[in-house]
Amino acid sequence: MASFDRFQCNTRARRPRRRALAALFTALMAVAPSGAQAQQGVVAAASFMQAPQDPAYRTLELLYTKFLASGRSDVEIHLSPAGGRSGARIEPNSDGSFTCHVFGLQTPAGEIDSRPSMRMLAGTLVHEATHCLVTPYALGIRPDGDDPASQIASSLVLLTLESISDARAVIELYRKDGIEAAQEFAALMLPHRLMATSLSHSTAPALRAALQLVCTEPGTVQDDEQAFAAALRIGRTGAEYAFQRFARGTGRGEMLEAQGFKEVSTALDTALERAVQAFHSGRYENNAATLRASGEVASAGDYHFFVSADGKIRTEPALGMEGVRSAASSHH
């Protein structure tokens, strides 16, 4: 069983020094983006048939192909290097699908080939893209009230979603790059999660449990659906564990027994079941996304990319704010 209290893995992989890694994490989250900028002027549509040469665009395209082009969902994903901090903005569509804009995916200048920076970027991309696949089903279950009971129930939802995203980042880094990559990402994240200023980002239990899982039970995350389900399970359980410790440690344990809290907890479980179902049988394959200079507006260099079964990438121009699936359907 995965442990929520200990972060360990009996391998000989070199562990990075925490101080240096914390400094690197801070640098990666620095304010000024070094990724793609919008191209100037009006360019003929034919020139967009090849992806821009900006390394930030190309890096995100390749990382998405490597880590995320699997499973299904009800979501069209847009990726952008622009933004001071990474995040995901989700919008429901009228047809029951969702649009998710992931921003702040910065590649530090001169460090594109640096192993720690690339692993941090890869983990951040997986984290935010996981929000795209899970958060849509939990949009309506956070209480609106500002009373303590509503606030604590809302915190449970947020902590669960963050824990799931962190757990999946560890699992996918292990699956694609090995145990050392998973260890390094967890080591980068743990100091910040342990010192989180808000409960919703106190995801250390999920990070530890995900790492313990890939160390001791790697056979349980062999295929894409197993790995996705494991991340949701670890995130949910890890958040519950952290949340109960917090609630009881701050004298709010009785709120966990309140009817409203239990209803939110039940609705959260239902939302996660829907996310698992969508990963198995959602309307879209997760083998395509849109790259944008900005997460807010369409820009001249924006493009869609499609990943074939053998990993080859095809691109098309994005001539507006349409998603990749909308663009594909317009050609048929």
CA angle 194/196/197 to nearest 5° reads 145
In a domain, 10, yes or no: no
Tens-of-pLDDT digits for all 332 residues of the chain?
455 555 556 654 444 333 433 333 333 333 233 333 333 322 333 333 344 457 788 889 999 999 999 999 999 999 999 888 999 999 999 999 999 999 999 876 544 455 788 889 999 999 999 999 999 999 989 888 777 778 888 889 999 999 999 999 999 999 999 999 999 999 999 998 988 777 878 899 999 999 999 999 999 999 999 999 999 999 999 998 888 888 888 887 888 888 888 899 999 999 999 999 999 999 999 999 999 988 788 888 899 999 999 999 999 998 888 888 876 655 44
In a domain, 86, yes or no: yes
In a domain, 250, yes or no: yes
136: tokens are 């849509």
pLDDT for the residue numbered 13: 41
The pTM score is: 0.83
In a domain, 191, yes or no: yes
In a domain, 143, yes or no: yes
In a domain, 220, yes or no: yes
In a domain, 7, yes or no: no
In a domain, 311, yes or no: no
pLDDT for the residue numbered 281: 97
Domains in the chain: how many in total?
Answer: 1
* Structural domain of 265: 18-37+48-305+321-327
